[in-house]
Structure 1
């Protein structure tokens, strides 16, 4: 999603007093129609509805998402996202330009992200059809992790995103990454990282099985989801593979990597233009993030550190200084970052009422993972 306009029924709109403290610009619905040329150009579609392109008076391009009346998400999510985006500011989080709460209409207006979602690039449906290079994938991974780390560590109170996925990572013209869509985010007490909820939220393929079992999301739930995104960046495949039968990317990648078959995992569209040892390292990080037990997962700070190291190694490789820096397993001494996390029984503990979530976690016990290939 590149920004959005929310439309609610008159009964949903309610009192806008909670938005009066917002520092961003307040638009009227008439202004939004002018900005979008009567919602003429569609950029995409998200959970709230359609996303439209618009231009402010000074020529600045913005993105506006129109909430359909049939959307199950409404004023609660609107208020949550508006209030969160007013108080958080980070280079790797999407910026809110303004909002509208005009009669039956509600709106949020975002900065325009010309390259769309990470999902579009992974699946090859972006406009130019170009394949992301390995250095670009590493940078997107690092920048996305920095945005999540800020939510977990830099906000007061800290926040759990709860819907980290490739469609909620946006890219600008320089392919710089921004985390978006904070309508499901929850604040938590830093002394008690658990948040009790009555409703399971998230997207099949990305949802932490421990959160599903306990209904208590934590920052490690975001780490799990981010691990899935990392696997998508490495493989170029979706979170749930559909052929020959539906299978979670985590189970598929573990099965391949347990055989030492990194070439079968990495996205073939990169045509071998990567260092196999760095691919192993990123795959290693991803599978640690998706460990069944949250205690075995790294923090987002750990992930940021590891991805910074990957960037440095990639830069060294590009400069010709990489010959002796091959990857032989985790470079982190944290005992929670061990390969034991891969061998945990991954039997489904997802909601018995949701076949979609049952399918996504149809995982099995895997043999101990290898620690990477011999140096090349």
Structure 2
């Protein structure tokens, strides 16, 4: 496998706009470059599909040293182009955090383009949330929430320039064999200069139905608070066990659904019944309140990801300080739960009906930040 030296790093303007020259940007990751034939060997002829999205198929693979990997190969019919491919490759070569999915290498061999990631054996968070009755206890959900928040906080504060993910959702949070959560899919990410207060305006509106910040939708200017909003939706999914858009009894977003019930003090009507009462009501209230703050209509009223991490850490400490009466498995998992790395049928790609243009209007409900009744 190729092992050449990194020659050039992009400047902030190149990264933030995505306008990086193809030939130059490829040098960013040439120390991790694979040929197409090497990927054929790694994947045993692209034998086992782990998932599929707008970029293409994700394949199971093993490196020469036995390292388990996931290979995302761009389809010729993909609606994601070279720009998105290069954006993700560039970002993943310069970000390193325990709660971000790591890139092992990449391939751009003629017409073939692929990204090689660490293998995440327990699939997407969404698969666990709607796992069909399998054990996903409150303590585990709390840990996943905290770890995901830590990954986003790193993007916002630990990167130079900082990054806005722009497509935070339950299918872009993956879990490894130890059920540790990691943020994935950076093809639609954008950099911003927080020192000058300049945010990147995009020509194309990117997001997923149910997770999109209404302020971003209106202004076309994503900010870190756009990610905070989306993460708030993920928190509500963890609490309720429901998806971002509820279809019954009529289509509504999860924020409106939860807010209606919590204003009546109905915490039992909100919490996922599959947890079978194995939670502390005060802890669940706290997380739900954090989520509703994150999803305030005005971004100025939302917390930062650093604030969210601190508050979730308090929730974890509260949970750990309680008695162990309801030990439903903690970090354990049903042994029959055999998820593949990228979800059978659940794409970790940003697109595949996830990315849409500005003319698609998302049904929103006025969700003022008002106090939550107890």
TM-score greater than 0.5 by the shorter chain: yes
Which of 181, 191, 214 is matched with 2:185 structurally?
181
1:347: which partner in 2? none
Which of 73, 81, 103 is matched with 2:80 structurally?
73
| Larger RCO (alpha carbons 8 Å, 6+ apart) | 2
How many angstroms apart in 1 are the aligned matches of 2:206 and 2:214?
A: 12
Which of 90, 98, 102 is matched with 1:83 structurally?
90
* Equivalent position SS for 1:22: helix
Using the TM superposition, name which of 213-222 and 48-57 deviates more: 48-57
Deviation at 1:100, TM superposition (A): 0.4
1:294: which partner in 2? 299
CA 1:24–1:164: 2 relative to 1, 3 Å: farther
* Equivalent position SS for 1:163: coil
1:362: which partner in 2? 365
Is structure 2 residue 267 aligned with structure 1 residue 262?
yes
Which of 70, 78, 83 is matched with 1:63 structurally?
70
Is structure 2 residue 129 aligned with structure 1 residue 122?
yes
1:46: which partner in 2? 53
* Equivalent position SS for 2:51: strand
2:119: which partner in 1? 112
Deviation at 1:33, TM superposition (A): 1.0
TM-score using structure 2 length: 0.83
Tell me how many residue pairs correspond in the alignment.
323
1:162: which partner in 2? 166
Q: Is the 8 A contact 1:213 1:351 kept in 2?
A: no
How many angstroms apart in 2 are the aligned matches of 1:148 and 1:287?
A: 18
Q: Is the 8 A contact 2:156 2:224 kept in 1?
A: yes
Q: Is the 8 A contact 2:70 2:117 kept in 1?
A: yes
CA 1:48–1:260: 2 relative to 1, 3 Å: same
Deviation at 1:362, TM superposition (A): 3.5
* Equivalent position SS for 1:20: helix
CA 1:42–1:90: 2 relative to 1, 3 Å: same
How many angstroms apart in 2 are the aligned matches of 1:107 and 1:17?
A: 17
Deviation at 1:40, TM superposition (A): 1.1
CA 1:18–1:368: 2 relative to 1, 3 Å: closer
Q: Is the 8 A contact 2:147 2:182 kept in 1?
A: yes
* Equivalent position SS for 1:66: strand
Deviation at 1:364, TM superposition (A): 5.9
Deviation at 1:133, TM superposition (A): 0.6
Is structure 2 residue 359 aligned with structure 1 residue 353?
yes
Q: Is the 8 A contact 2:204 2:358 kept in 1?
A: no
Which of 8, 32, 42 is matched with 2:39 structurally?
32
How many angstroms apart in 1 are the aligned matches of 2:357 and 2:48?
A: 39
Q: Is the 8 A contact 1:258 1:367 kept in 2?
A: no
Q: Is the 8 A contact 2:56 2:74 kept in 1?
A: yes
Q: Which runs of 5+ in 2 are unaligned?
A: 1-20, 326-355
1:325: which partner in 2? none
CA 1:34–1:351: 2 relative to 1, 3 Å: closer
Deviation at 1:48, TM superposition (A): 1.1
How many angstroms apart in 2 are the aligned matches of 1:89 and 1:318?
A: 36
* Equivalent position SS for 1:21: helix
Q: How does 1:9-28 map to 2 (within 5 A)?
A: 15-22=22-29, 24-28=31-35
How many angstroms apart in 2 are the aligned matches of 1:311 and 1:51?
A: 34
Deviation at 1:51, TM superposition (A): 1.3
TM-score using structure 1 length: 0.82
Which of 234, 238, 242 is matched with 2:243 structurally?
238
Using the TM superposition, name which of 232-241 and 45-54 deviates more: 45-54
Which of 223, 234, 252 is matched with 1:218 structurally?
223
Q: Is the 8 A contact 2:74 2:112 kept in 1?
A: no
Q: Is the 8 A contact 1:113 1:172 kept in 2?
A: yes
* Equivalent position SS for 1:251: helix
How many angstroms apart in 1 are the aligned matches of 2:22 and 2:307?
A: 42
Q: Is the 8 A contact 2:297 2:366 kept in 1?
A: no
How many angstroms apart in 1 are the aligned matches of 2:324 and 2:61?
A: 42
How many angstroms apart in 1 are the aligned matches of 2:370 and 2:39?
A: 56
Name the Cα RMSD after superposition.
1.9
How many angstroms apart in 2 are the aligned matches of 1:15 and 1:366?
A: 45
How many angstroms apart in 2 are the aligned matches of 1:310 and 1:299?
A: 17
Deviation at 1:131, TM superposition (A): 2.6
